Amino acid sequence: MQSLAIPQHPVETTEKDFDSLGLSQSILRCVRLVGFEHPTPIQAAVIPVALTGRDLIGLAETGSGKTAAFTLPITERLAHDPKSRALIVSPTREIALQTQAFLDAFGGDYGLKTVCLIGGVKMGPQYQGLRRRPHVIVATPGRLLDHVEQGTAKLDDFNILVLDEADHMLDMGFMPQVNRILQQLPKKRQTLMFSATMPPPIERISQQFMNDPVRVDITPEGKAAAGISHRLYLVEPDNKKECLLALLRQELGSTLVFIRRKSDAEWLMGVLEREGHPVERIHSNLSQGQRTQALQGFREGEHRILVATDIASRGLDIPRVGHIINFDMPETVEDYIHRAGRTARGNATGIVSTIATWIDKMMIKEIETTLGEDLPRCTVPGVPPYVEMKPRVSLGARKSTLKVKRR
C-alpha cells in the first residue's frame, strides 16, 4: 500500500510539554523521532481527554495538528489493550493515507497493524491487510462499505471510532454511508469526531451517536486564518482566463487554483500548459496513483501550479502555498474559508485572490458578512474591471445582459 511520509510544516504550538499529556515513554520517543517538540493547542486539549476513553468533539481546521491529536491517544490505548480496535473514517483518500502515515510513525514500536481502505486502488492488498486482523482501519466511507458488504471487513469489535472532517464528509454527500457505518459498530465504544464547523446534520450525529462528548473548540467558527490577504477581481465572464493568466504572471510562488467542475480542471490545465506553466490537476475522476503523483509533484515544487476541484480544499496538507486563486467562486462560504485555509498555514502569510463576475454578487456579500470585512477590489494590468450596468428596460436588452458565454 502506498503511504505518505509525515509532513513537516510550521504550526502554532503551545508551551506545554508532550510529557504532561499522559502519553507513555515509548510513544513520547516516537513523537521526538518525528520531530514534534511541543503540542499544538488541539493536541494539548484532546490527548488527555481521549486517553480517558471519553467521547469528544474537536472543532479544528486541518493544519492545527489534529491528526496527531487523535492518532497519539489511539496508539496509546491500543498498545495497552490489544483487544481494542479503531476505525478512522476520512473524507478523502489523501487524508486517509496521511493518517495512516502518522499511525505507522507512532505505532511502529508496538507492532501496530494498520490497513487503509480507499477507493481507486486494487482490492487485493486490502483483503490481505484485513486478513492480518489490523488494529486500525483507516478508510473512506464508500470502500469501507464495499468491504463490509462483501463480508471482508467486520466492524463489530471496533470500539474506537474517529470521524475525521465530518463537515467535509457531509459536503461530499457521505452522510448516508456514515450512518450505515455507525450501525455496524458496537454501541459501547469511544467516538471522536473532528470538524471545522458544526452544521445541524453533524450536530445530530453527535446527539444520536455520541455519549456526553467533551467539546474542544480551537477554531472560532467562520473565521479564516489571520495572515491572509483577500483580493477580489471583478471581471466580465469572458475575461476570467486573462485575469488568471495576469495573476499568475504577477505572483510567482506556488499557486493552488480552485475550479468548480472536473472537466474545467482538465480544460484549464491544458490552457496553462500551452502558456508554458508547470501545472498539474487534481480531481475525483483521476486514479489514486494520478492524484498522489499530482500532489507529490506540487509538494516537491515540480509543478508550481495545481488546479483543483473542491476535493483539495480541505484536509490536504499542502505546504507553502503562497497564493490561492478562486477561478470559480466557491458554492458556500464554508468552502471559501476552507479553500483559503490552504494558505497562511501556521504563522505564514498568504494571498487569496477571487476572480468573480456579476453573477457571484450574492456570494461575495455572504463572504464579506462572514469575514466581517469587505474584500478589497483589485485589478490586473490588461483586464478591464467589470462595471455594473444600469438595468435595461426592453426584454431583448435584458436577455443579452444575462447571456454568459461558456468559456
Contacts with ligand AMP, residue ranges (CB under 6 A): 6-9, 11, 13, 36, 39-40, 43, 62-68, 317
Nearer to ligand AMP, 167 or 360 (CB): 167
- Shortest gap between Cβ of 67 and ligand AMP (angstroms)? 3
Cα 370 → chain centroid: 20
Helix (H, G, I), strand (E, B) or coil at 195: strand
Quick count: other Cβ atoms within 10 Å of Cβ 174? 19
Q: Is 279 helix (H, G, I), strand (E, B) or coil?
A: strand
Complete edge-to-edge strand list for the sheet that includes strand 136-139: 114-117, 136-139, 86-89, 160-163, 190-195, 56-59, 214-217
CB 333 within 8 A of CB 370: yes
Give the nearest distance from C-beta 334 to ligand AMP in angstroms: 18
Contact call for residues 284 and 309 (beta carbons, < 8 A)? yes
Grid coordinates representing 78?
491500543
Judged by beta carbon, residue 241 or residue 342, the one nearer ligand AMP is 342
Q: Minimum Å distance from CB 95 to ligand AMP?
A: 8
Q: Tell me whether residue 136 or residue 383 sits nearer to ligand AMP (CB atom).
A: 136
Q: Which is nearer to ligand AMP, 13 or 24 (CB)?
A: 13
CB of 318 to ligand AMP, least distance (A): 10
Q: How far is the CB of 6 from ligand AMP (least distance, A)?
A: 5
Terminal Cα-to-Cα distance of the chain (whole angstroms): 40
* Cβ nearer to ligand AMP, comparing 68 with 269: 68
Residue with cell 482538465: 266
Which residue's C-alpha cell is 469526531?
193
Based on CB atoms, which residue is closest to ligand AMP, 13 or 177? 13
Least CB distance from residue 109 to ligand AMP, whole Å?
19
Question: CA 81, CA 213: separation in Å to the nearest integer?
Answer: 22
